[in-house]
Structure 1
Amino acid sequence: MTIKACAHVPAAPAASTSTGCQECLAMGDTWVHLRTCLHCGHVGCCDSSKNKHATGHFKSTGHAVVQSAEPGEDWRWCYVDERQVG
């Protein structure tokens, strides 16, 4: 599978701002996997988590591209194009 470049990926991706889902930590909840917003560094939980904060962050900000924050995983997802991107 070829992973195509995406115009939504920021030229200078932001660094992670947390070691856990920021909203889940604030409410004392748990998550399954973490995603880092490449636009601002926000860390949110994935769609397999009950709160889906990473997708919520996209919907509220329009920040289109996240990267897996899981150890050993190196992939990016564009919410606008609905596909894995390079």
Structure 2
Amino acid sequence: MATAVDDEGAPQPLCAGRSAEFMDYEGYPPSEDEAKAMCAGCPLLEQCNLNARQQLPSWGVWGGIAWIDRRQAHILKPADPRWSWCENET
């Protein structure tokens, strides 16, 4: 399957050119449902989700999952130290 980088006619991800929405959280990261909704309808959702679960991205919404420090944000608890960055944003 050709990728968006290899072929302009290949399926393009919905997040292309929208890094502010998918990478630059303001305040708390998107909830599990919000992250899924952000990626709903993306032609590359399944591949992105599989890749994210294998690569464990350090930050951002990938494959319908919000990630913080290589962990799925919806699994972390607010008491987790990885949430401390949110206190400075609100």
Pick the structure with greater CA Rg: 2
TM-score (norm 1): 0.32
Q: Which has the higher strand share?
A: 1
